[in-house]
């Protein structure tokens, strides 16, 4: 099943899109201004810097490092030994950078922070995807570095989910309780306003109520539009029961089921059997294990 939660086309089109490039610039600039290195103790001349993996992982962050080098180094060369999204092993060289000693050392820490964290997110995502099998994995809006984090999730084989609040319409419990519209009217707006409508449900009864209203809408309009039901904090067993109920009713194809809340590595095996189409978790971006790397610098004659 194709899922609308993959918004990577908004970030990459034969290179970083304007949206992704803007995010790279914003984050890289903020980090550079926050961690400026004095050049008093740095010898002049040129240096060769080699980033070497101290453990295995999935490479993410190459477009960001290329941007940093291009912006802050005047006379440089780079040689990459791995493409974005490719797996590397402990001890392997990731990239070699020849540049002015002062310029490269001024951005050394920023480069390492970015590539180790983004590669960590991509590597964690890849491991989780393997454990989930046919159930997809998506990020949430809980990120530390915004689009950079979501890009790393994509590189690791996951789904970006919505890039911001305007990228698809999500109706949550507070929206239902505060709205003067009927459930049918709310769902009608969802179906007409976006290709990525998501409705949060908080109990089995709530899920069935929303599902039945959506089924009635499709029947009345002779349509077969899909809507995402995000089962929030209901767990894999309730998700399994709800999916089986939709199959029994013969309407499973009208719904994308998203499990959310307390999705952790230790319960992925249960989510793999939950009947969900995908699970979303903030853990992969908020609590990533970095991939340990080192940068070795040597003076060039």
| Domain match, 174 and 252 both | yes
What does the pLDDT read at residue 41? 53
Higher pLDDT, 257 or 41: 257
- Interval 247-262: pLDDT, tens: 999 999 999 999 999 9
As a whole number of Å, the CA-based R_g of the chain is 23
- Interval 143-176: pLDDT, tens: 999 999 999 999 999 999 999 878 878 888 767 7
At 178, which CATH number?
3.20.20.70
Mean residue pLDDT of the chain comes to 92
Residue 99: its H or E element: strand 93-100
Q: How far is CA 264 from CA 158, 183, 270, 290, in A?
A: 15, 32, 10, 17
| Domain match, 138 and 279 both | yes
Label residues 259-286 b or e (16+ Cβ within 10 Å = b). Answer: bbbebeeeebeebeebbbbbbbbbbbbe
CB 47 within 8 A of CB 104: yes
pTM: 0.93
| Domain match, 259 and 190 both | yes
For residue 65, the enclosing domain spans 8-122+289-299
- Confirm whether 3 is domain-assigned: no
CB 254 within 8 A of CB 243: no
| Domain match, 278 and 295 both | no
| Domain match, 194 and 80 both | no
Q: Could you tell me the two tokens for 286?
A: 């908020």
- Interval 59-114: pLDDT, tens: 999 999 999 999 999 889 999 999 999 999 999 999 999 999 889 888 999 999 99
| Domain match, 83 and 117 both | yes
| Domain match, 141 and 264 both | yes
Q: How many domains does the chain have?
A: 2
Residue 293: its H or E element: strand 293-299
Using CA atoms, how far apart are residues 141 and 218, in angstroms rounded to an integer? 30
- Interval 15-24: pLDDT, tens: 999 999 999 9
At 41, which CATH number?
3.90.1170.20
| Domain match, 140 and 97 both | no
- Confirm whether 1 is domain-assigned: no
| Domain match, 143 and 188 both | yes
């Amino acid at each position: 099943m194709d899922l609308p939660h993959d918004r990577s086309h908004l970030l990459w089109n034969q290179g970083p899109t304007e949206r992704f490039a803007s995010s790279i610039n914003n984050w890289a600039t903020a980090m550079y201004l926050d961690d400026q290195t004095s050049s008093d103790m740095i010898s002049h001349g040129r240096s060769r810097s080699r980033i070497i993996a101290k453990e295995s992982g999935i490479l993410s962050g190459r477009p960001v490092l290329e941007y940093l080098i291009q912006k802050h180094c005047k006379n440089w060369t780079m040689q990459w030994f791995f493409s974005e999204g490719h797996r590397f092993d402990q001890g392997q060289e990731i990239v070699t950078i020849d540049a002015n000693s002062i310029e490269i050392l001024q951005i050394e820490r920023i480069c390492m922070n970015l590539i180790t964290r983004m590669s960590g997110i991509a590597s964690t995502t890849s491991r989780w995807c393997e454990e989930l099998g046919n159930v997809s994995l998506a990020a949430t809006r809980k990120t530390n570095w915004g689009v950079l984090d979501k890009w790393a999730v994509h590189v690791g084989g996951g789904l970006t989910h919505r890039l911001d609040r305007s990228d698809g319409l999500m109706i949550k419990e507070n929206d239902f309780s505060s709205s003067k519209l009927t459930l049918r009217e709310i769902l009608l707006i969802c179906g007409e306003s976006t290709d990525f409508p998501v409705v949060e449900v908080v109990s089995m009864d709530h899920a069935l109520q929303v599902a039945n209203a959506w089924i009635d809408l499709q029947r009345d309009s002779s349509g077969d539009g899909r809507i995402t039901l995000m089962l929030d904090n209901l767990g894999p067993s309730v998700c399994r029961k709800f999916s089986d109920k939709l199959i029994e009713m013969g309407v499973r194809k009208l719904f994308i089921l998203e499990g959310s809340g307390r999705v952790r590595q230790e319960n992925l095996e249960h989510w793999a059997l939950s009947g969900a189409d995908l699970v979303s978790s903030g853990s992969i971006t908020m609590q990533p294990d970095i991939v340990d790397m080192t940068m070795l610098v040597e003076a060039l004659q």
